[in-house]
Structure 1
């Protein structure tokens, strides 16, 4: 680096690497490595997403060697080269019957040339990162097809759907299992017929072997080629052993029950998947488009941002947007979980609304998949079909299914060690006749019985079935849980920290006091405040804009502010003409240049805060124009939610706010919280969360924007009102899609039920092994071991499916209104 002062530039990762799924992706590190090799570039690192800023790449460079334009060109061209070379796909597929098949497909994909990372889930999604020089999407689809896994959009899938899944179509596995059972019964009956030929029962049992072992053999061959011995291999060895002992009936019974168990396991996964797939079908395929004065019906995929669509009464809404004409109520339960329809009305200024649709009030916005009520509406489209709240919800739920929980990772590791141990133990038991007074046949029979008893079939499905059912039930209730980890952690929480603004309060403040300083007209105070706050999308700004204009009247012209700058946690800075203007807390004016707050304004602030108001001071140039007081209303459900959380066992709940301590304590007292901490900057909230985590598991509940750093440091970050918000969906572990606090006890209760089901399933699966192994050692017959073993597998699947019917207790909660102040926090 030369003696020139080093400079730095920040570029959005999403622009440089549009296909990379996140800032931790390998392509990000490839980009950093490539840039670090260029002359003039000293250091490159990632700035994680926080607040309303996406993840960025920060490049430190020497302007004497490389200009800013040159650095940008290098970064963009390198990113384009990486995007062109390395592909990332997330495909929804069919054919991953269970956890073991998904694991086998993962390993098979990982061994393909050009595949750098692969992960398959029994719920359907397959994630692959690959090098386009060595392979292609078409080659990967072909490889999946050869594994019996088909992409939903594959043209061949549509043409040959009849043979998808097996020789007899989509239900081949179940049909094969039932045919195996029928042949088993026929063989058993034939063995009792005195006039039947001796070969008939054996032939029927062989048929039962063939149908019952078809899928098991296919899976076992794949895993053996990968150098692994898993449950399918154990079952085949046991069935072969039974045949060697002339115990055809018991071997056929084993394969029948194992295959029917697999088929039902597949059904269970399919049912949970269908609960999620049903979300994708909520949006109608077409929309009534008004363009060039005419109305015509078009596919939703053809809609573009800015189009105007017509919503008839009692029809599903096809796209995200905002209301430009009409009034109605909309049932948003499919997306947000809200039980009561939400009133909708037109925006006042369509052009202004189009500039920042995410900053609009809930009463102006509509979402794809929700249901219009009795009124007709005209809506301007604000998102493409692929980017709608519904599409992103389905996509992120699919991604969440692929994320394994800590318990699932443990059981996977346990199973990979346990299966070889079982095989070794069985080999030792085969030699029992050497030291015991028994025949080889007796030792062999006992070894086969132990092999069945010790196979951890129920263990393999116990956690993934519960996690998938839990995620599906949460999504149906308007909550996105991003994987098994957050789902399990929610149930372990001992403490919750809440943001105040928009979380415990409605986030819809009103101006209650306008106090001009001596010699200042109240109209001037309002005009300056309005001109600055008009550039912000904070709820506090919206209140000043709305109520201030109402007081001034529509005929008054407000000066235009420019150069808006947000001072995090303190307020806003801008310019009106040649004057610097500041609007914010008293603490802001202790940090900036200029005269301190006058005693008169200090007295105003003290009086407003004593009355429980949120306050802002306005200064133009060197003059203090006065103070404005605002008040917010608490969420009607807040007190009931706090009570419900206490019943769920949350021992400590704290409100953290950027507002002053007196206001924060007033809010906390009204909603029933233990503690309230005020005057907190974002970094103060992070430090508080870190202190919490040192003692117990803690969640941070906020709006997903200002509280993103604190949410990132909590055990679980929970975002409110995530529908329509990219930042909230990206930063949180759990997203409450609606602006509805009652979803919080629902998802925590669901998580605790999920954890209970997982524990029950582990006890059932491991307990059955612990009981059956000694029982078979001491003489339990192979047939009985088979029945108990497969029965435990069906039991854990049925237990997991109970989560799909989890009841939300929130409908009975107490609700109480009130008024509390709002902070810009």
Structure 2
């Protein structure tokens, strides 16, 4: 009998995505072992938080051996294969990035190269063949130039090292440098037009002028195309650049100089405009890196000095004047102001900031600082001056991580893009064969060779899949850039498309549908215990936990107790999804939900405690029972406030076509139903342990695509099991930013609706672009076979390329009001 085990991909191959070649290697290695029958990757394409399902024979290999095998193989793969990610100064068009891929693929030891249309490049290399320094040297030798990094990651990332940088492409060269190709294309068109006019006027003394102007038009029109064609020929690649030059040369040989010049003009103009348009999308991403100032005013040795931001370290105190941008991530220690966080979190309304209550606590646990005291690099201060203590280096700020992740996301292909790549690999050779056959049409039909040659060139031009090659990456790039500008990080084309197809969304309760700041509403003591005794134990133990309920018990408990010393706590242990255990006053103490008691060695609660719990749950309270030794001290009732924007956000999702919305919670069913009723969720599932949430999500996913919205910490396993995992409040949570497919930088639930709407619009644009691209090819190929000239074919062909890029760039102007 065979059995099945599922292993979290992140535990085996940390820091990579499941479209990485290392995942396929791991699957192949596991499948080759005795006793392993079937290995597959379950989850979201490219999401990086999927699972590996292994079907094995327990009589041959044990479950522990399977786990150890996967772990050891993952370590070996991590040690052998490295990754580099960087930005280049190549032109922002599909021809250029394919050329970059081909150049770098030739470097010995390089396994895979993925280049995005915006200039981002990801390289996987074999460390047993080549070192990272040697790869970097080979990159320089190949002629691919890295741009000067604005933000650079330091060190290694869990076995897969990344040299990440944000491009500042073309900034130094000005408008003229960025648009040289466009200027050459316009010069070609101007010369062509002048030659055509003089030729039509027919002045005998100027008969030599049109020919001269056409030749000059050839020079300007072919300048950039010729350079790329030569590079492709050197690498034995037959690209559209070569086709166009052959067709133009053929037109010249036939005496059709004007038609050849028109071909080069339209082709060069189309790619110049593509370069210009894609550059706009690229600069939209680069603009993120420019939000943070380069210098900061910092207090050192009692004096105010101005220093470079990259020199700041945690613990430094910076002075932020009114209307200045925040130079760092940190928390406010002095002053009050309103801060515009839109550049990072997408929030439209400025957020009031005040000093943190406990500086030492904030310093030791910066992620737990409330948003009212936390600030982010790149946000804009209001009218009040602030003193901010630095919590992260500039390279580790939320803004820096977003820029890095967006840059990496560009190189990850969407399902549609992978489909079009496969289609091209079959389609292009087929067209070349067809063109070759058409060269010999004169043998079978009564026409001169020049006509057969002309028709063959026209078919080659018409069938070139230029528009198809750029159709999907342009839309994905624009969609990711627009999302990032709105405070939403979408990690690649796969989750971008997947999110647009979901019809069901599951929400965690605490911190997602509710504010995650519960308050103590009831303290019920039992038997001979006093309220002070109960709170002493509860506050002392829960002060060692970072759970939202624990934070509420500590804050409100201290308020009720006043100034008093707390008992010593030792042997603290967190019982995931249930509660906590510790030793207090030399006795065992337990604090947690009722379901924790009476199982796994934890004593059962008495009837009095159970009665109090039932009554509080009827009122919609979350309950925490407190037990010390052999006594039940009592029950604490808490209530979390639903987010004010929750009902509006869910209403928007329904308008977008989300047919089913479910709340999953570890809280009691009655409490879950009360919150669900308040916010308008369709159904509530309460009393779920973390593993139960995973099971629930998988059941949903078996029948439909489902997204899971949580805080990225306790909800990570459930988010990994969903079609798309969405984490809220990622600006202040490292875990949320790393684990989710879609990270909402703010805690505004309406960003979920914005993300879904933008994803659906992006999918619509991708479909439109693919239909236009394929439709034009389907129209032009038979038309050129039937006699359509090269000039009209190129005009329609290049027009379709420009059309798909401009259509994709409309996403940059997408507004949340379009919902």
Question: How does the TM-score come out when normalised to structure 2?
Answer: 0.87
1:248 is aligned, of 257, 276, 291, to 257
1:719 aligns with 2:727: yes
- Residue aligned with 2:510, SS: helix
| 1:240-389 pair list within 5 angstroms | 240-389=249-398
Distance, in Å, in 1 between the alignment partners of 2:345 and 2:148 is 28
2:119 alignment counterpart: 124
Distance, in Å, in 2 between the alignment partners of 1:256 and 1:350 is 65
| 1:451-600 pair list within 5 angstroms | 451-554=460-563, 556-593=564-601, 595-600=603-608
Cα deviation for residue 424 of structure 1 reads 1.2
1:323 touches 1:380 (CA, 8 Å); kept in 2?
yes
1:106 touches 1:118 (CA, 8 Å); kept in 2?
yes
1:784 aligns with 2:792: yes
1:165 touches 1:172 (CA, 8 Å); kept in 2?
no
1:408 is aligned, of 417, 421, 436, to 417
2:117 touches 2:474 (CA, 8 Å); kept in 1?
no
Distance, in Å, in 2 between the alignment partners of 1:586 and 1:138 is 57
- Residue aligned with 1:572, SS: strand
Distance, in Å, in 2 between the alignment partners of 1:604 and 1:182 is 87
1:761 alignment counterpart: 769
2:89 touches 2:170 (CA, 8 Å); kept in 1?
no
1:652 alignment counterpart: 660
2:475 touches 2:762 (CA, 8 Å); kept in 1?
yes
- Residue aligned with 2:524, SS: strand
Cα deviation for residue 172 of structure 1 reads 2.7
Gaps of 5+ in 1: 1-11, 35-45, 49-53, 57-74, 813-825
Change in Cα spacing, 1:760 to 1:514, as seen in structure 2 (3 Å) is same
- Residue aligned with 2:84, SS: strand
| 1:45-444 pair list within 5 angstroms | 88-130=83-125, 140=135, 143-144=138-139, 149-153=144-148, 169-192=177-200, 193-196=202-205, 199-444=208-453
1:121 touches 1:402 (CA, 8 Å); kept in 2?
yes
Number of corresponding residues: 757
1:686 alignment counterpart: 694
Instruction: Summarize deviations over 1:29-86 as a string: whole Å, max 9, x none.
Output: 999999xxxxxxxxxxx9x9xxxxx999xxxxxxxxxxxxxxxxxx99x989987x97
Distance, in Å, in 2 between the alignment partners of 1:248 and 1:752 is 47
Distance, in Å, in 1 between the alignment partners of 2:491 and 2:307 is 34
Distance, in Å, in 1 between the alignment partners of 2:393 and 2:104 is 32
1:69 alignment counterpart: none
Cα deviation for residue 565 of structure 1 reads 1.3
Distance, in Å, in 1 between the alignment partners of 2:103 and 2:515 is 51
2:363 touches 2:391 (CA, 8 Å); kept in 1?
yes
Distance, in Å, in 2 between the alignment partners of 1:674 and 1:592 is 34
Instruction: Summarize deviations over 1:742-791 as a string: whole Å, max 9, x none.
Output: 11111111111111111111111111112222222333232222211111
- Range with bigger deviation, 638-647 or 340-349: 340-349
Distance, in Å, in 1 between the alignment partners of 2:461 and 2:124 is 38
Change in Cα spacing, 1:372 to 1:791, as seen in structure 2 (3 Å) is same
Gaps of 5+ in 2: 1-8, 30-40, 44-48, 52-70, 151-164
1:821 alignment counterpart: none
Cα deviation for residue 131 of structure 1 reads 5.5
1:708 touches 1:731 (CA, 8 Å); kept in 2?
yes
Cα deviation for residue 233 of structure 1 reads 2.7
2:50 touches 2:720 (CA, 8 Å); kept in 1?
no
Cα deviation for residue 278 of structure 1 reads 0.8
- Residue aligned with 1:94, SS: coil
Distance, in Å, in 1 between the alignment partners of 2:759 and 2:175 is 40
1:31 touches 1:79 (CA, 8 Å); kept in 2?
no
1:627 aligns with 2:641: no
- Residue aligned with 2:731, SS: coil
Instruction: Summarize deviations over 1:10-45 as a string: whole Å, max 9, x none.
Output: xx999x999x667997899999999xxxxxxxxxxx
Change in Cα spacing, 1:413 to 1:231, as seen in structure 2 (3 Å) is farther
Distance, in Å, in 2 between the alignment partners of 1:166 and 1:637 is 44
Distance, in Å, in 2 between the alignment partners of 1:166 and 1:320 is 32
1:31 touches 1:82 (CA, 8 Å); kept in 2?
no
Q: Over aligned residue pairs, what C-alpha RMSD do you find?
A: 3.3
1:669 aligns with 2:664: no
- Residue aligned with 1:329, SS: strand
Cα deviation for residue 201 of structure 1 reads 2.9
2:50 touches 2:721 (CA, 8 Å); kept in 1?
no
2:456 alignment counterpart: 447
- Residue aligned with 1:461, SS: helix
Change in Cα spacing, 1:467 to 1:615, as seen in structure 2 (3 Å) is same
Distance, in Å, in 2 between the alignment partners of 1:648 and 1:565 is 44
Distance, in Å, in 1 between the alignment partners of 2:474 and 2:171 is 27
Distance, in Å, in 1 between the alignment partners of 2:451 and 2:17 is 58
Change in Cα spacing, 1:81 to 1:779, as seen in structure 2 (3 Å) is closer
Change in Cα spacing, 1:655 to 1:552, as seen in structure 2 (3 Å) is same
Distance, in Å, in 2 between the alignment partners of 1:182 and 1:509 is 70
Distance, in Å, in 1 between the alignment partners of 2:382 and 2:424 is 52
Cα deviation for residue 428 of structure 1 reads 1.4
1:746 alignment counterpart: 754
Change in Cα spacing, 1:654 to 1:86, as seen in structure 2 (3 Å) is closer
Distance, in Å, in 1 between the alignment partners of 2:24 and 2:793 is 52
1:735 alignment counterpart: 743
1:64 alignment counterpart: none
- Range with bigger deviation, 228-237 or 740-749: 228-237
- Residue aligned with 1:362, SS: coil
Cα deviation for residue 576 of structure 1 reads 1.5
Distance, in Å, in 2 between the alignment partners of 1:369 and 1:645 is 30
1:230 touches 1:416 (CA, 8 Å); kept in 2?
no
Cα deviation for residue 712 of structure 1 reads 0.8
Distance, in Å, in 2 between the alignment partners of 1:747 and 1:196 is 66
1:773 alignment counterpart: 781
Distance, in Å, in 1 between the alignment partners of 2:706 and 2:728 is 16
Cα deviation for residue 175 of structure 1 reads 2.4
Change in Cα spacing, 1:375 to 1:22, as seen in structure 2 (3 Å) is same
Cα deviation for residue 661 of structure 1 reads 0.8
Change in Cα spacing, 1:184 to 1:163, as seen in structure 2 (3 Å) is farther
Distance, in Å, in 2 between the alignment partners of 1:169 and 1:543 is 58
2:650 is aligned, of 642, 647, 653, to 642
1:239 touches 1:252 (CA, 8 Å); kept in 2?
yes
Change in Cα spacing, 1:228 to 1:479, as seen in structure 2 (3 Å) is same
Cα deviation for residue 617 of structure 1 reads 0.2
Cα deviation for residue 165 of structure 1 reads 8.9
Distance, in Å, in 1 between the alignment partners of 2:666 and 2:129 is 53
- Range with bigger deviation, 170-179 or 637-646: 170-179
1:8 alignment counterpart: none
- Range with bigger deviation, 221-230 or 450-459: 221-230
